[in-house]
Amino acid sequence: MTVRTGALIAGRYRVERQIGSGGMGAVWLATDEDLDRPVALKRAHPAADERRLRQLSREARIAGGIDHPRVVALYDLVTDDAATWLVMEYVPARDLADLIGAGGVLPPEDVARIGRQLAEALAAVHALGIVHGDVKPGNVLITEAGDAKLTDFGVARALWGDETISDSGLFRGTPAYVAPEVARGAKPLPPADVFSLGATLFAAAEGVSPLGSGDNPLTVVWRAASGHVAAPSSPGPLGAALSAMLALEPADRPDAAEAERLLGLRAVPEPAPPRRLGLVALAAGAAMVLAGASLVSRSAGSAPAGGPATPAATPVSAIGDPRTADPCALMDPAGFERFGQAELSTDYGNFNRCDVLIRRGDDDLADVKVELANGPAPEPGSQDQVERRGSIEIVAEPASGGECDRTLVLADGNLVEVTAQRTGHGTVDLCAAATLATDRAATVLGRGRIPRRAHALPARSLGNLDACGLLDPAALSRVRGIDGAHPEAGFGRWDCHWHSGTGDTTIQLRFDRDGPLTAPDGHPRRLGGHPAYITPGGDGRGTCLVQVVHRSYRDTSGNTTAELVFLVVSGGEAGGRLCDSAETLASAAAARLPAG
Active site residues: 134
Distance separating alpha carbons of residues 591 and 581, to the nearest angstrom:
16
The phi and psi torsions of 405 (rounded to 5 degrees) equal: -120, 145
Distance separating alpha carbons of residues 425 and 365, to the nearest angstrom:
7
Give strand ranges (E) for 429-583: 488-489, 495-499, 506-514, 523-527, 530-536, 543-554, 560-570
Orientation angle between helical segments 96-103 and 190-206, nearest 10 degrees: 20
Is 207:100 a contact under the CB 8 Å cutoff? Answer: yes
Q: What does each C-alpha distance from 112 to 115, 146, 202, 237, 263 come to in angstroms?
A: 5, 12, 10, 9, 5
Binding residues for ATP: 42
Is 256:130 a contact under the CB 8 Å cutoff? Answer: no
Is 327:452 a contact under the CB 8 Å cutoff? Answer: no
Binding residues: 42
Q: Go through the chain and tell me how many residues it has.
A: 596
- Residue 200's H or E segment, with its range, is helix 190-206
Distance separating alpha carbons of residues 313 and 220, to the nearest angstrom:
36
**Where does 337-429 have alpha helices with state H?**
none
Helix (H, G, I), strand (E, B) or coil at 147: coil
Distance separating alpha carbons of residues 215 and 213, to the nearest angstrom:
7
Distance separating alpha carbons of residues 408 and 410, to the nearest angstrom:
6
